[in-house]
């Protein structure tokens, strides 16, 4: 898998990321298969947002990651802040919203850190 530098951060991640928006309704078997297939393909970059599936997408991801043999420190979590239904992201996203989003996201993913945060904009 080709690896890219995210921006000019020096943070290296797989060129392909797995979008986790729709995994809220995945069974344990489906979630495990998604993560294992990604890991086998060399994908270590996972895209989240605290609002995906009302937070359930991150819970499903965390449970699958807990069942996986892949170490948490080997994955890159990307999340977004500023996503609120019925609003344009740039109208409602304040710095404190991003801080809250990161806190929620880390808790939902049961991860000790998030490596990348970006503001969602239309």
The torsion of the CA quartet 52, 113, 111, 14, rounded to 10 degrees, works out to 70
116 is an active site residue: no
Of residues 26, 45, 46, 52, which has the active-site annotation? 52
- DSSP letter (8 states) at residue 69: S
Query: pTM for the whole thing?
Result: 0.74
**CATH number of the domain bearing residue 48:** 3.20.20.100
Give the C-alpha separation, 45 to 18, whole Å. 6
Structure tokens at 93: 């996203």
User: For residue 110, what are the domain limits?
Assistant: 3-119
> pLDDT in tens for each of the 122 residues of the chain?
999 888 777 888 899 999 998 999 999 999 999 999 999 999 999 988 777 788 788 889 989 988 998 877 788 888 776 666 655 555 555 556 565 555 555 555 455 544 545 544 44
110, 62 contact by CB (below 8 A): yes
Number of domains comprising the chain? 1
Give the C-alpha separation, 26 to 61, whole Å. 9
Quick one: pLDDT at residue 56? 87
């Amino acid at each position: 898998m080709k690896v890219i530098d995210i921006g000019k951060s020096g943070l290296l991640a797989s060129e392909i990321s797995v979008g986790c928006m729709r995994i809220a309704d995945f069974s344990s078997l489906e979630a495990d298969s998604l993560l294992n297939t990604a890991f086998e393909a060399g994908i270590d970059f996972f895209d989240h947002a605290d609002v995906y599936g009302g937070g359930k997408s991150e819970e499903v991801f965390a449970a699958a990651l807990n069942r996986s043999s892949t170490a948490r420190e080997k994955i890159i979590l990307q999340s977004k802040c500023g996503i609120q239904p019925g609003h344009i992201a740039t109208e409602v996203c304040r710095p404190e919203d991003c801080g809250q989003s990161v806190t929620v996201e880390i808790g939902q993913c049961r991860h000790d850190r998030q490596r990348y945060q970006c503001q969602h904009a239309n």
